Amino acid sequence: MILRKQFLQHVGQTSPSPMLIEVARAEGSFFYTPEGKRYFDLVAGVSVSNVGHGNSEVIAAVQKQAADYMHIMVYGEMVERPQVEYARRIAELLPGALDCVYFVSSGAEAVEVALKLAKRYTGRTELISMRRAYHGSTHGAMSMMGAPEGEEWKAAFRPLLPDTRAIEFNSFDDLRYITERTAGVLCEVVQGEAGIRLPNPEWLHALRERCSEVGALLIFDEIQTGMGRTGEMFASTKYGVTPDVVCLAKAFGGGMPLGGVAANSKILDSFTNNPCLGHITTFGGHPVCCAAGLAALNYLINNNIVEQVEAKGELFERLLADHPHVKEIRRSGLLMAVELGSSERLYAMMDMFKEAGIMSDWFLYCDTAFRISPPLTISEGEIEECCTIIRRALDRL
């Protein structure tokens, strides 16, 4: 109780109604309160904890790197093994042209870098994003929040970036707004905070073609979809479309704060001259975070975790879809929205979830569906157990 009171008094708050669950420890698909109450983690820190909580290989990598060295110098000056090895592995996994990673500290910073890069590389100013998009909370990222849905959050901070425009996700017609004036088009491959909206693969290809036609950079925000979440290491590979720039964060750091912007080195080189220091970041690519991210990536690969994602997603769907209160399930791998069709029902579910030891939430632009995006390491038995609890809550609606 005392800690909760001090949290409310001394820790900056994001809303008048935080979840207020005190965490004592976390392991695998669960976290626990000091009283020993167990929560099934169906959020994974919003697609962060892909390798499960307390992953022993990530912990060992963090401990080793922290003992070897932590911060030495601002990003970009020193040769640090965890950074180099992680960048090389990511370049190997992404399509060939994306051979270089610029490390930062968060998702929003990765988006800032990508936007600046598009302007710098093309010499143009217009930036295009999608309606109902979420890319982060800094001024630049917020400028790309989908209009008009993002207006509630944006209004108090205007003026934001000039020369931005939001087009409709999956609209072939709206591709005409991408022109020779456009520096970059920023797009989540699967829209997360819109409530898990899947791309029409043909539209993604048409988007790629349109950007190439007019010389605009296509920037994929894979901050939620990256590192295996959709059943492939990157959603761009799943849908077979190669962008010019990929933004990574969340699970990219294996549970530590890390972001990255992957692109061809010719594009990233535009930060280094006339003038140099096009983006500066003290903590970008922190060696402990890179060591954690690399260990998490190796864990995913060595244990064939990503290959199991689709079957686990299907199991969730099979166990929940036939409930009369479930209107629809929108899903890509283990990134899932369970649509209830009403915010009253959703809020009632959240109360029951809290009581029953299920951690879920809703989406920034969709409060009629709840989120299922657990650690990718969740077992079949755990999926069955938590779906039984979810169905029991749905029965009580």
d(C-alpha 377, C-alpha 308), whole Å: 9
Tell me how far, at minimum, the Cβ of 205 lies from ligand PLP, in Å: 21
What CA–CA distance (Å, rounded) separates 189 from 223? 10
Long-range contacts of 135-139 (CB under 8 A, 24+ apart): 135/107, 135/108, 135/111, 135/186, 135/188, 135/221, 135/223, 135/247, 136/106, 136/107, 136/108, 136/109, 136/111, 136/112, 136/223, 137/108, 138/108, 138/109, 138/111, 138/112
Burial class (CB in 10 A: 0-12, 13-18, 19+), 301: middle
Q: How far is CA 318 from CA 37, 332, 368, 374, in A?
A: 28, 14, 20, 16
Q: Which residue is nearest to ligand PLP (CB)?
A: 107
SS3 339: strand
Q: Which of 166, 223, 296, 297 binds ligand PLP (CB under 6 A)?
A: 223
- Residue closer to ligand PLP by CB (options 259, 278) is 259
Interface residue with ligand PLP among 114, 249, 369, 394 (CB under 6 A) is 249
CB of 391 to ligand PLP, least distance (A): 28
**Interface with ligand PLP includes 260 (CB under 6 A)?**
no
C-alpha dihedral sign at 197, 257, 184, 148: positive
Among 39, 86, 134, 370, binds ligand PLP (CB under 6 A): 134
Residue type, 303: N
Q: In this complex, which beta carbon is closest to ligand PLP, that of residue 114 or of residue 183? A: 114
46 binds ligand PLP (CB under 6 A): yes
Smaller CB separation from ligand PLP, 75 or 393:
75
82-121 residues in contact with ligand PLP (CB under 6 A) are 106-108, 111
β-sheet bridge partners, residue 335: 332
> Would you say 44 or 352 has its CB closer to ligand PLP?
44
Stretch that binds ligand PLP, among 14-22, 25-33, 133-141, 172-180 (CB under 6 A): 133-141
Please list every residue from 177 through 216 that binds ligand PLP, using CB under 6 A: 188, 192-193
The dihedral through the CA atoms of 7, 8, 13, 17 has a sign that is: positive
Q: How far is the CB of 384 from ligand PLP (least distance, A)?
A: 28
| Nearest distance, CB of residue 380 and ligand PLP, angstroms | 27
Q: Which is nearer to ligand PLP, 46 or 301 (CB)?
A: 46
Q: Which stretch binds ligand PLP (CB under 6 A): 128-136, 176-184, 197-205, 379-387?
A: 128-136
* C-alpha span between 55 and 50 (Å, rounded): 10
- Which of 136, 199, 253, 284 lies at the binding interface for ligand PLP (CB under 6 A)? 136
Shortest gap between Cβ of 260 and ligand PLP (angstroms)?
11
CB 96 within 8 A of CB 152: no
Least distance between ligand PLP and beta carbon 196 (Å): 11
Minimum CB separation of residue 140 from ligand PLP in Å reads 11
| DSSP class per residue in 101-136 | EEEESSHHHHHHHHHHHHHHHHS--EEEEETT----
| Count of residues of this chain found to bind ligand PLP when the rule CB under 6 A is applied | 15
Under the rule (CB under 6 A), what is the footprint of ligand PLP? 46, 106-108, 111, 134-136, 188, 192-193, 221, 223-224, 249
